[in-house]
Structure 1
């Protein structure tokens, strides 16, 4: 960096005149003493001519400035001497101190900036205590947010558990109500069926009394031509009364081979009831009978091993079915 040169020293001649020493190598001078007069210091009116600056850079400008300052100082001294006014003091800054300050801020000759132990500003500076306080505050906020989030999660879980419990209780109550209604409906249906069977029982009756059930429907054995028993046997002494199970019409009465003496009672719905192995028959074909009417007596005719009533049930005159189930469906329990 270039700096202004110091002002040239002023020398005084023995006769009291003052001259300026010009640095060698410059093209100014020689200079003579300038005695300002009223005409010479009067401002020039009109166009001002500006001298074109020559090359020489900051050093040449500093020289010219120094010469101008010295000339002004001389002119002021002379004007003071002529006017009798006290001289005006002109002070110039100490360039050396300014230069040192500039070097301290900018750097040395190598171009590297000098660091200063004293910071230029305290803006943005946080000491250890401030950093610790800020960190603690941030940590406290994070912990508070985490705790708040945990509380929200806990409340949501508790609400979900409560909702699930309420839903489960409601489902259990609904199921209990449905079960109760289903049970009530079943009991009602059972009661209705019992009432119906009781009413049917008034219309139906067992074929005989003082009996013992021996062979049941489906029992296997070589004594039956089909290989299994096709009816229900009521063992009773010979001569025991045989009654009509329900009202109907006698469609057959007589000898039937292995069945012995047989009577067939056809009900109004087409179901045929076969009464076999009778010792005697008390009705004729085409006769109408009612529930409980005597139609014959227990015997041991046909293919038998002892006196009993062999009862078969043929819905619509078809294949035989289990007489036990049919009698139970009519409200009877053999």
Structure 2
């Protein structure tokens, strides 16, 4: 029965002769044409073929991708790889391929390659696994250190932020306290200044009043002396034609001097009915001072000085006894003589 499998590359398969020509075909080693060229027939060996190489590379890749710990725990697998010189020349000497001298060459290259594969590649694989584990461990440590550094930096930033906020709040509190203190100091200073100004104003007013009174005292004089006040302004009674008293009565002995209360001029002097003998003294501001019930008149015209005697106390006119009836008029109206005299600084 003829085989339908394709012939391996580089191997020539002779078609068996027909049964009629050759009879039963039983090929032998001598009847097979020898293989020429660089093609080799892989002889089955006790080790792994090229598929084992691919498997070994896959294992290394898997270990490098993160299975280092698992790969290191498993027993090492014998992997056959071509040596570097064979890879450069293109002639494989390991992995189940024979050299030009044939599978049974005695030059020792196949054994050397297998020895190199066992003694060189496997240790390098172990070294690679150890280096990869160290790289992973270093990477994990670096990541942990980076995370720890980031956490420390974040904590330091938080501490600095809290410190800045605390310092800002303290500065704000200090500024607010300073502002309040300044406002309180300003208010206290303003109150003190106001009190001092008020006290100074009162003192100035008092001094001015004293000066005014002193000036008035020197410019004004009481109308008579040794007197007694008997009737005041506004008193009511039938003895007065108007129904009330229009002046201030200074009861004094007849002949007591009647004096000018201020500088002015005599505008009228003579008999005036119920007023008896009367002198009218007009002051500089137009105020008229009436001296009534005089027993005599010393000055009847002209200017007079404060305190100058212009007549004498008497009991002429409508009277009940000797006294000086003093009236103060301005604009034709009467006013209280006592208040007017006191306003001029006189102690009546």
Question: Structure 1 length normalisation: TM-score?
Answer: 0.54
Q: Against the structure 1 CA distance between its residues 246 and 183, is the aligned structure 2 distance closer, same or farther, given a 3 Å change threshold? A: closer
2:277/2:316 contact within 8 Å kept: no
Q: 1:139, 1:328 → 2: CA distance?
A: 85
1:277/1:308 contact within 8 Å kept: yes
- Partner residue, 2:98: 77
Q: 2:311, 2:244 → 1: CA distance?
A: 27
Q: 2:158, 2:248 → 1: CA distance?
A: 94
Q: 1:206, 1:137 → 2: CA distance?
A: 96
- Partner residue, 2:16: none
1:159 corresponds, among 154, 178, 181, to: 178
Establish whether residue 192 from structure 1 lines up as the match of residue 211 from structure 2: yes
Q: 1:168, 1:268 → 2: CA distance?
A: 50
**How many residues of Structure 1 are paired with residues of Structure 2 in the alignment?**
251
2:291 corresponds, among 270, 275, 285, to: 275
- Partner residue, 2:328: 313
- Partner residue, 2:277: 261
2:275/2:316 contact within 8 Å kept: no
Establish whether residue 328 from structure 1 lines up as the match of residue 342 from structure 2: yes
Establish whether residue 207 from structure 1 lines up as the match of residue 223 from structure 2: yes
2:299/2:310 contact within 8 Å kept: no
Superposition pairs of residues 171-182 of structure 1, within 5 angstroms: 171-175=190-194, 177-179=196-198, 181-182=200-201
Q: 1:187, 1:323 → 2: CA distance?
A: 24
Q: What is the CA deviation profile of residues 90-126 of structure 1, one whole-angstrom value per residue up to 9, with x for unaligned ones?
A: 88x9xxxxxxxxxxxxxxxxxxxxxxxx9x8466559
Q: Against the structure 1 CA distance between its residues 141 and 228, is the aligned structure 2 distance closer, same or farther, given a 3 Å change threshold? A: farther
- Partner residue, 1:229: 245
2:252/2:313 contact within 8 Å kept: no
Larger deviation, residues 263-272 vs 221-230: 221-230
The structure in which a higher percent of residues are helix is: 2
- Partner residue, 1:148: 167
1:250/1:283 contact within 8 Å kept: no
2:214/2:345 contact within 8 Å kept: no
Gaps of 5+ in 2: 1-7, 12-26, 40-90, 122-136
Q: Against the structure 1 CA distance between its residues 267 and 170, is the aligned structure 2 distance closer, same or farther, given a 3 Å change threshold? A: closer
2:291/2:325 contact within 8 Å kept: yes
Q: Against the structure 1 CA distance between its residues 136 and 176, is the aligned structure 2 distance closer, same or farther, given a 3 Å change threshold? A: same
Gaps of 5+ in 1: 1-7, 19-31, 41-71, 94-117
Cα RMSD for the two superposed structures: 4.9
Question: Structure 2 length normalisation: TM-score?
Answer: 0.53
Q: Give the CA deviation at 1:274.
A: 0.8
